[in-house]
């Protein structure tokens, strides 16, 4: 389920976890534009259903002056390539060709929610939840819509983010991360991509990652993410958590 964004979104939504609204399945660019118009959405994230690390993700904005698509996709005469350099396309024919090429492998399309910002960058947070407990977090700060750190974005200031959202807002967000983990009790850890919306009063879960524990240099209680997982296993905390919570995912 974690490796299928469509199924994962459905599980989280059914569990009452705040997630961006999603469009029904689309099989290509014309269907995407029709669905966007029907929903009244001008900005969406188009994601390969089985993708990871932002590969193939398109942040698409459509307006009266045309369209803009920020993506890791490099479009060439020889095909599509994943790139660490985010590109911006404004030619609709090129964007349509990219979407149509990705569509046969399955697409998941979500409404683009405006993220809160710190300074001149928008931010979200990767939260690693181990045995049901949020233990490690990294702020990802970007000047564009794709915040993944491997794309050249920066780690942000977690203390500043917590101050902006307030302790009550942070506690509510961590409770949401716990609810996410409760949907996947067969997984020792999950990596939750958590976004606070503009104004800092609301939050939503953008992604849940089955392999989201790579946070180099982040230590809590003297343990990095891997030591935390070993600790949860050797102390029986994971086993006790699994026994005490019912999974909402099949």
Spans of all domains in the chain? 17-111, 117-244
Strand, helix or coil at 216?
coil
Question: Cα(11)–Cα(24) distance, rounded to whole angstroms?
Answer: 15
For 117-244, give the CATH class. alpha beta
pLDDT of res. 246: 59
pLDDT of res. 3: 96
Q: Tokens in use for 104?
A: 């046969």
Q: Are 214 and 136 in contact (CB under 8 A)?
A: no
- What tens-digit pLDDT sequence spans the chain (250 residues)? 999 999 999 999 999 999 999 999 999 999 999 999 999 999 999 999 999 999 999 999 999 989 999 999 999 999 999 999 999 999 999 999 999 999 999 999 999 999 999 999 999 999 999 999 999 999 999 999 999 999 999 999 999 999 999 999 999 999 999 999 999 999 999 999 999 999 999 999 999 999 999 999 999 999 999 999 999 999 999 999 999 985 554 3
Q: What angle do CA 217, 221, 224 make, to 5 degrees?
A: 30
Please return the burial class of 28, using the count of CB atoms within 10 Å of its CB with bins 0-12, 13-18 and 19+: middle
Question: Cα(190)–Cα(92) distance, rounded to whole angstroms?
Answer: 36
Find the DSSP H helices in the chain: 5-14, 29-39, 92-102, 158-182, 225-234, 237-244
pLDDT of res. 245: 83
- Predicted model pTM: 0.94
């Amino acid at each position: 389920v974690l490796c299928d964004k469509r199924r994962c979104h459905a599980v989280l939504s059914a569990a009452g976890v705040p997630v961006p609204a999603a469009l029904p399945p689309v099989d290509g660019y014309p269907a995407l534009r029709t669905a966007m118009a029907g929903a009244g959405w001008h900005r969406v994230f188009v994601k390969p259903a089985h993708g990871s690390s932002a590969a193939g993700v398109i942040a698409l904005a459509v307006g009266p002056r045309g369209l803009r698509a920020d993506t890791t996709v490099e479009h060439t005469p020889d095909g599509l390539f994943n790139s660490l350099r985010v590109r911006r396309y404004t030619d609709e024919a090129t964007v349509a060709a990219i979407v149509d090429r990705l569509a046969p492998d399955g697409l998941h399309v979500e409404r683009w929610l405006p993220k809160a910002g710190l300074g001149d960058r928008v931010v979200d947070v990767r939260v690693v939840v181990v045995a049901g407990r949020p233990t490690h977090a990294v702020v990802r700060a970007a000047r564009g819509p794709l915040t993944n750190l491997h794309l050249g974005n920066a780690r942000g200031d977690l203390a500043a983010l917590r101050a902006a959202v307030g302790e009550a807002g942070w506690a509510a967000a961590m409770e949401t991360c716990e609810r996410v983990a409760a949907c996947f009790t067969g997984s020792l850890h999950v990596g939750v991509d958590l976004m606070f919306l503009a104004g800092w009063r609301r939050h939503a879960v953008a992604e849940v990652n089955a392999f989201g524990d790579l946070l180099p240099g982040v230590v809590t209680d003297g343990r990095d993410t891997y030591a935390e997982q070993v600790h949860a296993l050797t102390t029986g905390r994971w086993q006790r958590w699994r026994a005490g919570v019912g999974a909402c995912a099949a």
